[in-house]
Structure 1
């Protein structure tokens, strides 16, 4: 502080004071005119221009794409205690014809994805032994299971264990059976486990057709996580999808397999005005546990009695006993819709989402929030990528990005649509979360996707810029159906925090053609990429002030520099769009004052970036009117 005061005094005496105003970017929320394309592209996405060094590594192949499509699927899994990385998939009948394409295998890497042991298994041995004709009893009589689909998988590591020999591999997911003879239909889920080396596999199948649990795609298991000493999965069911099912698997050490039980939750869903018998549950669901398993969250999209008809929002159940019991924790989500509701011309529609739990036990949801058309009960493909944080009693929201494609692409019009595939991954200590998603830049349709990402320090709230994680890699413009581990690699080969991710690239476009899968090694962020958090002693700025704060009509930024350098000031909104800026300029030694015309900004929170001599310093600004 003494050094700062001395410098300011010296500069004031010398009279070296420079003042200027910053220029607002007009219509920052609108698509730009042709002559302002460059600056507006920055303002709409604020994408970092850092070159990415990503290795695209070939792993297993599958018979068709129906292995990696769903956002809630957990297929990639990293376990820091074992330094083990895994990926689950259906097999390629070109390499393994026995058991058909619905037989499940998995891949393992012990060096952060550089080298892999492929196609371990099968972990659904009954598929092979019966040649995809596993006998099963159904309410309609005896039938057969024909194959597994959309597998979830994880390395089950007993709490405190560091020995690979004590770990298991667990996989669950939906299965098809012939239901009433010839037509292949949904109606079953598979549960399988094996020692981590693939020995002693066990698979079982459970039918959920009947009076209590009805069939249909909504009844299929969609995710798998470990929470404490148990593993947990979730699905839905009931005649009108009015029940939510949470599965719990516990290791039987004597039998080296998992015993599964199910908890039925019956939320009081509001009856939909869209059609008779329908309710306000939209089929989107996911779950997450804290690292130590002490708290877990199960999230279902929909509207409960007492909530507005036009809302599809997250409804949260929590457990504090590793999934033995669950209780409704939140029905007050509307308090978290303020900003999104203002931005969307209609009611927000929570669609695809992923979630994690941070070091404070808070639930963090990363979601596509689209614009709902309540007149026709459809949604417009326009909206935002949003982080919702739930601390057990109240909600906060943060805008992460925008929906930039107005059509999902690939399989337009059905549930295999690409959309933006939001994924959430968190560090083992719960302090850093990285959100990733799929977007095609410069096109209306998401048909040539890259994977974009943004990182947040959950303790400080500091956030990075949006970064194209596959730019200038072999995956550029071809990163289809990204699926990421819920746990980040800390201390990776390229970045301090890396997102273990699998996708497919060289695809023919036919959904029944074989697909080669790839691991993307080296996607991530370093701590110096956060917008806030540069050590003040590294900054060449002295006496940095932002005042008044909160500001109404005008805010002022003042700082001093000891020597000449290039400087630039930018004002960013909640999702990283540059809304006010000046051109980079050569600044002389002395005090520099800037006026920011806050009267043109909407009320809310903003970040002021001061870039000087290749360093970036940030301050928060609150605008009120």
Structure 2
């Protein structure tokens, strides 16, 4: 690890007034190769004395920037209506050099006294004349009609590698939500022209995502204070409590979400959820940019929040991608306990990582970066971050061709000097032992070839005429890719890429349009590949 604890670079004459909750990014001017000439730009909430209305309260916003060498310090304070908000999120430097962040106006009401929380996509453009950043705000539409008030939090924004396709997401509810099962879920806008125009996307339907529902606890339909059994047939209503996001090479949105289970379906109670050990599942959501969602379980978070002073130490979900957008990465913080009797609070956080290959659907992880690669807890071979991975921050862009990994995850984490105090400083370090290799994600033919018997890969009937049922066994819950090849090894059909389970998996295959002859079923899973023959009559 390498210490990276920041020092204060504020101008002595800067009118700081309660500035809090900073959200920052790096801007590198075109053709610049000297780090000292790059800029840090940040934004956050500020106490501000309104010159017209008076008063000194939260809700206004600052944008601050300076060169890395501490020169060219600029601060701007915004007190217009679109600045009456608090914590911004998702600061992202786009391919064209623009810096974006997301926000929303808090606790506003319309003329009908209905709660009105407009969302904002905010663009910062470098001004070479003033050596500062010009700010442009776009209000995004929410549906405020109907019986369900809009409630949104956690704004995020990100763009794909081309700089044109991007998404802004908030977590919450508006009138486009499910009237029967309202719940906190991602509300999404998409741009295809670099942020000039944003279009609200069709809402996600939790109830259509079988893999998500399978990990959702039923509500308390009979009112006895506990979750109903599955046999009672009560609704299962997922609830997203936290998320982060990124965008891949194909313009698809990827979210990592902490998914809980709602305890009621009443519109006024969509914030009530079951809590406790074993109630938080981490899901990888993929949105195709048109209207279709996919959800796959990435891991779990069976801790309860730890603490540093009064600050919560939760799962702290983070998302990233490779520069080319072909690989997606998620990280989170979790403390390991062998048994529940040993405890479950997140007081000794390790940093876990998960990777996804967009081209073949293969995944790697979750991996504990507190352990030396290839070891387990019982080996007692730890890295510097073991049990001290507090408040980690993952870069939105990973390093391709890193020091120790093909795909290195740039992570900074903090070690509190006193976990019981809010006043003692936190020392920050750069983690150099986090990443994944191409072989783990099925790149360049690195999969181990195994026989069809390894997965018990077979088709019934075989030979077949119109359709056949392909079945195979997996040892773990993992992604798989199933394709059909001709006898020359050329792909005829990409049958399915999906989440598999540690059991018998079945896929029904329509072969009615195929020319009679010999074909090959190719299964790719668990870093292995197997082939089985299929005769079509």
Shorter-chain TM-score above 0.5: yes
| Closer, same or farther: CA 549–192 of 1 in aligned 2, 3 Å | farther
Residue of structure 1 in register with 2:164 after alignment: 294
Determine the C-alpha separation between the residues in 1 that align with 2:501 and 2:66. Answer: 63
Residue of structure 1 in register with 2:151 after alignment: 281
Matched, 1:397 2:295: yes
Please report the RMSD computed on the Cα atoms of aligned residues, expressed in angstroms: 3.7
Question: Does the 8 Å contact 2:317/2:332 carry over to 1?
Answer: yes
CA-CA distance at 1:233 after TM superposition:
1.2
* 1:13-162 mapped onto 2 (5 Å cutoff): 56-60=1-5, 91=7, 105=8, 121-122=9-10, 125=11, 128-130=12-14, 134=15, 145-158=16-29
Indicate which of 46, 51, 56 corresponds to 1:175: 46
Residue of structure 2 in register with 1:512 after alignment: 423
Residue of structure 2 in register with 1:360 after alignment: 250
Determine the C-alpha separation between the residues in 1 that align with 2:118 and 2:525. Answer: 52
Determine the C-alpha separation between the residues in 1 that align with 2:438 and 2:126. Answer: 38
| Closer, same or farther: CA 168–533 of 1 in aligned 2, 3 Å | closer
Question: Does the 8 Å contact 2:185/2:204 carry over to 1?
Answer: no
Residue of structure 2 in register with 1:410 after alignment: 307
* 1:102-501 mapped onto 2 (5 Å cutoff): 105=8, 121-122=9-10, 125=11, 128-130=12-14, 134=15, 145-158=16-29, 167-177=38-48, 185-207=57-79, 214=84, 219-227=86-94, 228-237=96-105, 238-239=108-109, 240=115, 242-269=117-144, 279-308=149-178, 309-334=181-206, 337-345=209-217, 346-374=236-264, 376=269, 377-381=271-275, 382-393=279-290, 394-405=292-303, 407-410=304-307, 416-442=311-337, 443-471=343-371, 472-501=382-411
| Closer, same or farther: CA 550–164 of 1 in aligned 2, 3 Å | farther
The C-alpha deviation readout for 1:440-499, integer Å capped at 9, x for no partner, is 111321111101111111111111132111220222111111111001011111111111
Question: Does the 8 Å contact 2:475/2:502 carry over to 1?
Answer: no
CA-CA distance at 1:385 after TM superposition:
0.9
Determine the C-alpha separation between the residues in 2 that align with 1:348 and 1:494. Answer: 38
Determine the C-alpha separation between the residues in 2 that align with 1:620 and 1:312. Answer: 43
| Closer, same or farther: CA 575–373 of 1 in aligned 2, 3 Å | farther
CA-CA distance at 1:148 after TM superposition:
2.3
Determine the C-alpha separation between the residues in 1 that align with 2:457 and 2:439. Answer: 26
Question: Does the 8 Å contact 1:506/1:516 carry over to 2?
Answer: yes
SS at match of 2:258: strand
Question: Does the 8 Å contact 2:316/2:392 carry over to 1?
Answer: yes
CA-CA distance at 1:379 after TM superposition:
2.3
Indicate which of 419, 433, 439 corresponds to 1:522: 433
Question: Does the 8 Å contact 1:440/1:446 carry over to 2?
Answer: yes
SS at match of 2:312: coil
TM-score by length of 2: 0.72
Determine the C-alpha separation between the residues in 2 that align with 1:154 and 1:400. Answer: 27
Question: Does the 8 Å contact 1:336/1:397 carry over to 2?
Answer: no
Determine the C-alpha separation between the residues in 2 that align with 1:291 and 1:493. Answer: 23
Determine the C-alpha separation between the residues in 1 that align with 2:452 and 2:239. Answer: 46
Range 468-477 or range 164-173, more displaced: 164-173
SS at match of 1:151: strand
| Closer, same or farther: CA 223–306 of 1 in aligned 2, 3 Å | closer
The C-alpha deviation readout for 1:512-569, integer Å capped at 9, x for no partner, is 2221111111211112223x55837854658867434599xx9877xxxxxxxxxxx9
Say how many residue pairs are matched.
Answer: 439
Question: Does the 8 Å contact 1:313/1:350 carry over to 2?
Answer: yes
Structure 1, unaligned runs of 5 or more: 1-55, 62-90, 92-104, 106-120, 135-144, 274-278, 558-568, 577-597
Residue of structure 1 in register with 2:445 after alignment: 535
The C-alpha deviation readout for 1:378-408, integer Å capped at 9, x for no partner, is 2234121111111211211221011221x22
Determine the C-alpha separation between the residues in 1 that align with 2:18 and 2:531. Answer: 54
Question: Does the 8 Å contact 1:492/1:522 carry over to 2?
Answer: no
Structure 2, unaligned runs of 5 or more: 110-114, 218-235, 338-342, 372-381, 462-468, 481-499, 508-521, 533-537
Range 481-490 or range 219-228, more displaced: 219-228
Determine the C-alpha separation between the residues in 2 that align with 1:395 and 1:458. Answer: 15
Determine the C-alpha separation between the residues in 2 that align with 1:226 and 1:546. Answer: 47
SS at match of 1:529: helix
Range 346-355 or range 235-244, more displaced: 235-244
The C-alpha deviation readout for 1:338-371, integer Å capped at 9, x for no partner, is 3212320131111221111111111111111112
CA-CA distance at 1:182 after TM superposition:
13
| Closer, same or farther: CA 536–436 of 1 in aligned 2, 3 Å | closer
CA-CA distance at 1:234 after TM superposition:
1.4
Determine the C-alpha separation between the residues in 2 that align with 1:292 and 1:161. Answer: 21
SS at match of 1:528: helix
Determine the C-alpha separation between the residues in 2 that align with 1:572 and 1:410. Answer: 33
TM-score by length of 1: 0.62
Determine the C-alpha separation between the residues in 1 that align with 2:347 and 2:59. Answer: 32
